Amino acid sequence: MSDIHARLVRLAASGRFDAVLRAAAGLPDDGGAAQAFKHGAAALKRNDAFSAAAAFETVRRLDPAFPALAEALTAAYRRDARYVDALAASEGQNGRQCRFERALSLLALGRGAEALTELDAILAADPDHAASWFASHAPALEVHGLDEARHRLVRATACVGANGKYWGYLASYALLAGDPAAETLLRDHVDPFPARRALADGIRALLPHCGGSPRLFGLSASVLRFALEQAVLPGLVLEFGVRRGTSVTVLAQAAGQAVHGFDSFEGLPQSWGAEPAGVLTCGAQLPPVPDNVTLHAGWFEDTLEPFLADHADPVRLVNVDSDIYASARFVLERLKGRILPGTVLVFDEFVGNRTWALDEFKAFAEFVAESGIGWRVLALAPHTKQVVIRVEES
Ligand SMILES: C[S@@+](CC[C@H](N)C(=O)[O-])C[C@H]1O[C@@H](n2cnc3c(N)ncnc32)[C@H](O)[C@@H]1O
């Protein structure tokens, strides 16, 4: 075994996947598995999960025993939203990296209890793994309740090298629970640190619209099922941003009616923060979806008008999961007149990101100002950044 291969084996065994990706830059351009691994690692580092998955699949074809391949494939599939493939690639692998990616995949698939089991297995072996304490608060919220979720966030903040944003989550849950401890948490651990403030600032903007305590969720699938239960106005169920079909499948299973999904399947039409245009691409491939889903492939700007010309109904529920301001703005503007009292809106990147106030939140605020609708927040999911809003009489 060459020196670099031995190094990759050692780094993968120690759970230092970031170091594996860095070390892969030293692999030779041999036209074979090593070169494909190097390309896959570089793609993962620049957040191009689609290219990374393709490169690691090449490695698997050429040399299935290549060091750290299970870790690399699992990470690429999970980031490419191919969660079922991520579970298959990590099967039987019980190192920290594979378990962690498996847990995030299970969370995305709405399998909270199994995700919690994986994260607790990591924590049993390494009680100072901050990212697992943090990630585990989301399924714990649904499996055990808010107190356990907050306890896990406290444990996350106490770990060596913990990410400062965990304090923002802790303070935000305190705010949402109406706990007076929120004031001290915000004053001492959040507000003086700009990098920690995003979630708490978003929650503070939404609290006046919550009308009491909003429902709190940790999993996207639970949010979507709850949103559909609240959406009793007969009409269209729409999703903008389908990607690999995870959320549209949940909607389709719970809606009891036709669901329409819109996506270019070529990623974002423009850059978003550090992400370049085209990020989140599926290579123009449409995902498999349940029979009651119709996919409308193309840019919203080209597909929505003709669809509306053929469908006169109001909107029962719309899931806006297209990330950027321009896409949310376009969709809301075109749906004006179809979004009526009783319509339920779900947004996926509403709170928690550094740029939250300039993204979907801004598009919605402009829509409210222009249409004069009333609205109320029914539910929030801090970990997934989702919010459920019901349109009301103004
Ligand atoms: C975060 S992904 C959607 C995730 C999906 N809901 C899920 O459950 O995994 C965002 C998607 O929005 C799509 N998108 C964003 N803006 C768009 C636009 N203007 N036209 C078409 N697709 C767009 C991208 O192609 C991307 O697939």
Q: What is the CA radius of gyration of the chain?
A: 22
Distance CA 8, CA 17 (A): 9
Q: Which atom of ligand 1 is nearest to the CA of 81?
A: 9
Ligand 1, CB within 6 Å, residue ranges: 81, 241-244, 246-247, 263-264, 266-269, 280, 299-300, 321-323, 327
| CATH 1.25.40 domain locations along the chain | 123-196
Protein residue with least CA distance to atom 27, ligand 1: 243
Of all residues in the chain, the percent with pLDDT exceeding 90 is 95
Protein residue with least CA distance to atom 9, ligand 1: 246
DSSP codes joined into one string, 112-151: HHHHHHHHHHHHHH-TT-HHHHHHHHHHHHHHT-HHHHHH
Higher-pLDDT residue of 107, 10: 107
Name the nearest CA neighbour of 321 among 242, 235, 238: 242
Assess whether pLDDT exceeds 80 at residue 1. Answer: no
HEC string of 248-288 equals HHHHHHHHCCCEEEEECCCCCCCCECCECCCCCCCCCCCCC
Q: Where are the alpha helices (DSSP H) in 24-144?
A: 33-45, 49-62, 69-79, 83-89, 96-108, 112-125, 130-143
Q: Which atom of ligand 1 is nearest to the CA of 265?
A: 25
Rounded distance from Cα 382 to ligand 1 centre (Å)? 20
Distance from the Cα of residue 30 to its chain's centroid = 36
In tens, the pLDDT along 221-280 reads: 999 999 999 999 999 999 999 999 999 999 999 999 999 999 999 999 999 999 999 999
At residue 391's C-alpha, the angle toward residues 386 and 394, to 5°, is 135
For residue 161, how many other CB atoms are within 10 A of its CB? 6
Rounded distance from Cα 241 to ligand 1 centre (Å)? 3
| CATH 3.40.50.150 domain locations along the chain | 215-392
Q: Among 220, 260, 322, which is best to mutate for testing ligand 1, by the most ligand atoms less than 8 A from CB? A: 322
Give me the pLDDT at residue 299, please. Answer: 98
User: Do residues 122 and 98 touch, judged by C-beta distance below 8 A?
Assistant: no
Q: Report how far apart the first and last C-alpha atoms of the chain are (Å, whole number).
A: 70
Strands 374-381 and 386-392: antiparallel
78-81 LR contacts (CB < 8 Å, sep 24+): 78/104, 78/105, 78/108, 79/44, 79/47, 79/49, 79/52, 80/49, 80/50, 80/52, 80/53, 80/244, 81/49, 81/108, 81/243, 81/244, 81/246, 81/280
Name the nearest CA neighbour of 213 among 174, 158, 164, 160: 174
Architecture of the domain spanning 123-196: Alpha Horseshoe (1.25)
In tens, the pLDDT along 147-184 reads: 999 999 999 999 999 999 999 999 999 999 999 999 99
Q: Which atom of ligand 1 is nearest to the CA of 330?
A: 19
Of all residues in the chain, the percent with pLDDT exceeding 70 is 100
Assess whether pLDDT exceeds 70 at residue 80. Answer: yes
In tens, the pLDDT along 18-36 reads: 999 999 999 999 999 999 9
What lies within 8 Å, CB to CB, of 331 at 6+ separation is 240, 300, 304, 318, 320, 322
Assess whether pLDDT exceeds 90 at residue 303. Answer: yes
Architecture of the domain spanning 215-392: 3-Layer(aba) Sandwich (3.40)
Q: Which amino acid is at 374?
A: G
Give me the pLDDT at residue 2, please. Answer: 80
Copy the structure tokens of residue 116: 């919690």
Q: Among 238, 263, 333, which is best to mutate for testing ligand 1, by the most ligand atoms less than 8 A from CB? A: 263
The mean per-residue pLDDT over the stretch 144-149 comes to 98
Protein residue with least CA distance to atom 5, ligand 1: 242
Q: Among 280, 295, 301, 329, which is best to mutate for testing ligand 1, by the most ligand atoms less than 8 A from CB? A: 280
Protein residue with least CA distance to atom 11, ligand 1: 241
